[in-house]
Structure 1
Amino acid sequence: MTPKGDVREHALYGHAALSNVGRFMRIVKALLLLIWVRPLWAQGVERPFLEKVDLFRAGAEGYELYRIPGIVVSKKGTVLAYCEARKSAQGDWGPIDILMRRSTDGGQTWGERQTIVHVEGDLPVNAVAAAQNLDKFGDNTANNPAAIVDYETGDIHFLYCLEYMRCFYMKSSDEGATWTEPVEITQTFEVFRRQYDWKVIATGPGHGIQIQRQKKTKGRLVVPVWLSLGTGEHAHRPSVTATIYSDDHGQSWQAGSIAVPNTEEFVNPSEACIAENDFGLVLNVRTESSRNRRVVVSSIDGVTWSKPHFADELLEPICMAGMVSVGERTTGNLLEPKQFGPCRSYGSTGQRA
């Protein structure tokens, strides 16, 4: 193992965990390069306000499409963009690798793609997916990449799942150029079975964070995860959202708690994005409720969470989103890049903004 728009051309929008305005402004161009945009500049203007570069082009090099993007910026400023590379457009299950590209100049140029997760042979098939004819031997689904920048060690931590039932961890100490051999950390998720007998698990997607502003938990790595019984549609429903964390720079991982349960009000919470401000951590969660996004504020530690509530300011087409914190010291300046309009039907893609 090494460690919706035009179907023929697919660009990714970014997720970043940034700690100060200076770093944010230096790499904002890299973020914008990953957003699907239409030209916004007037004729005759020499330099466009937004530029677009296709980091991963659907239909090229054996992959029908790319989904589930993420982006982080290392302590030294290296931009890492990564995503699922899907060999078929059948949806979240099937033959999927995880690819990455790197930029060392703020997104002006990008290195060749790296295949950082590819599994040879036949992985055990997830039974709930097989029951719905979504998965078969040989597909080898690698899913839901999530990276974290460690500002204390300079390392980049990386988590992903296989067949939506096993979780792995690896890290890079050279700006994402090479990665350690993956270590399985699925046992971390077993603790959740006391509350929720999951059959499907997924990290992130997008990115986790390292706590930097809370004195008692400074340095802790926190990753949003979601769990599913897998009995519903696409073997992803019903579901709940939780977190896992590490206090030793990724050497070991612990289960947090279920942050958003599946209730009549909060229907099938799943993909989540996370950011930090002076008050603690904010977890922004996708659900299938008829109302808007959910926001959960932690009790500083990334483990225990307040009661979920609706964020009426945030529209929700039921899709993956992103969230970043802007400012070295801020009382709550959080930006949320996300999609407006239709999200997707499996096998097609939608515009993101």
Structure 2
Amino acid sequence: MTVKSLGLLLLLVCAGLYFAQRGARDPAGASGPPAAPAACQVSFPYAAGAGGYATYRIPAVVRTRAGTVLAFAEGRRTGAGDTGAIDVVVRRSADGGCTWGPLTVAAEGRGDTRGNPAPVVDPRSGDVVLLSSYNGAEATERRILRGEVPPARGRRVFVQRSSDDGRTFSAPEEITARVKRPGWRWYATGPGHALALTRGPHAGRLVVPADHSAAPPPGSPDTGEEPRYYGAHALLSDDGGRSWSLGFVDDAYEGFVNANETSAAQLPDGSLYFGARDQLGTSPGHRADATSGDGGRSLDRPFAPQRTLDRVPVVHGGLLHLGGRDGLLLFSAPSVPTAREEEALWSSRDGGRSFTKALTVDGRKAGYSDLVRLDGETVGLLYETGTRSPYETVEFRRIPLRTLTGAAP
């Protein structure tokens, strides 16, 4: 082969790799998934300003029975704020998160707010069950906390399902009366994926971590801004998401730990681990945790500070148990205590009693995140990130387990 021929061959190879990588970084609103590159690491299912939305936030991710990765988010039409015209949107990937199909709307706000997607795959039917929260466009969180919003425009809870691998979803069905106590004001499902129990006496149960705020007791100042009335709870379904009840309710409201946005994982012994954002509690750090031995019906102990995660700021974080012989539990969140920056992964080999930082993903701004097991060698991280703001893109990153454990479990 001549030098000229060799140079032409190298040029063609480089061009092919370039366009394959561009296909992996498919922005929201693209017409469909191109061929997957041989070894992709990063893709961008959502980018601010693309697909008809100003901002995308609150990611959640699951892998279906068919192996499809579903990336959910809030599509915020007019800005980055938590209130206004917001839809729950989803994109599908048939190649492990390398490329993404077109954006579709799972729950349309029609000018109001639908958000906090909490998807889970029902292990019996294979259906994707999606829970989300609703409020009127004018109902800010502060007004809801103050009790100034009528129930019809306040926080309400809905469930949907998909029987076609996440391509379409049923109309939202309201379940608020079954899972929200009288006197609760704020309410949020998830965020992040919910949990399907796979072992133990409650195998098949769906568990959705959630949080709420309660009205102050009689005689207390009712400003709605006192953070000590935040608490966590869980929603349970034993029939594949067709009926729902309340599980545990964290209602101590003592102000030391204010459990807020919560994630969950099932441990090898069948018990559940709950990790929560501590919302302005007086305890050290910003993370708290609890466990449940009865499938989320009650807690073994109240939420307590998780001191080995003291580098995490006030933010939601993802949880994923990998199973396997070492029972590795992963946690994802930013790693700067005073700012949403430097997305990282922590691991625990003792059921969440202690965590060790396993990987710094990158040094950019970072916000909410979620985790999914892709195969025996790879985990997927879906997280908010950007250079100037954490909310410029929702990025999907494929992470080899060997970088976290030294070897795949």
Q: TM-score, normalised by structure 1?
A: 0.73
Letter in 1 for 2:70: L
1:68–1:113 distance in 2 versus 1, CA, 3 Å: same
In structure 1, C-alpha distance between the alignment counterparts of 2:227 and 2:389, rounded to whole Å = 18
Work out whether residues 33 and 107 of structure 1, in 8 Å CA contact, stay in contact via their aligned partners in 2.
Answer: no
| 2:126 equivalent to 1:150 | no
1:27 match? none
In structure 1, C-alpha distance between the alignment counterparts of 2:252 and 2:55, rounded to whole Å = 32
Q: CA RMSD in A?
A: 2.9
Q: Per-residue deviation at 1:232? A: 4.0
In structure 1, C-alpha distance between the alignment counterparts of 2:232 and 2:123, rounded to whole Å = 26
In structure 1, C-alpha distance between the alignment counterparts of 2:50 and 2:228, rounded to whole Å = 32
In structure 1, C-alpha distance between the alignment counterparts of 2:40 and 2:250, rounded to whole Å = 36
The 5 A counterparts of 1:61-210 are: 61-89=51-79, 91-120=81-110, 139-163=111-135, 165-190=155-180, 192-193=181-182, 197-210=183-196
**Larger strand proportion of the pair:** 2
Return 5+ residue gaps in structure 2 as ranges: 1-23, 27-36, 136-153, 216-222, 341-365, 368-387, 398-409
SS in 2 for 1:224: strand
In structure 2, C-alpha distance between the alignment counterparts of 1:272 and 1:220, rounded to whole Å = 18
Q: TM-score, normalised by structure 2?
A: 0.63
Q: Per-residue deviation at 1:229? A: 3.8
1:223 match? 208
Work out whether residues 89 and 348 of structure 1, in 8 Å CA contact, stay in contact via their aligned partners in 2.
Answer: no
Letter in 1 for 2:304: H
Percent identical: 33
Q: Per-residue deviation at 1:236? A: 8.4
Q: Per-residue deviation at 1:306? A: 2.0
Letter in 2 for 1:349: P
Work out whether residues 179 and 244 of structure 2, in 8 Å CA contact, stay in contact via their aligned partners in 1.
Answer: no
| Larger Rg over CA atoms | 2
In structure 1, C-alpha distance between the alignment counterparts of 2:25 and 2:61, rounded to whole Å = 11
The 5 A counterparts of 1:232-251 are: 232=224, 238-251=229-242
Work out whether residues 41 and 98 of structure 2, in 8 Å CA contact, stay in contact via their aligned partners in 1.
Answer: no
Q: Per-residue deviation at 1:65? A: 1.1
In structure 2, C-alpha distance between the alignment counterparts of 1:66 and 1:204, rounded to whole Å = 16
The 5 A counterparts of 1:244-323 are: 244-259=235-250, 261-267=252-258, 269-279=259-269, 280-288=271-279, 289=281, 290-307=284-301, 308-314=303-309, 315-323=311-319
Return 5+ residue gaps in structure 1 as ranges: 1-31, 35-46, 121-138
Q: Alignment length, in residue pairs?
A: 283
In structure 1, C-alpha distance between the alignment counterparts of 2:300 and 2:197, rounded to whole Å = 18
Q: Per-residue deviation at 1:261? A: 3.8
| 2:42 equivalent to 1:56 | no
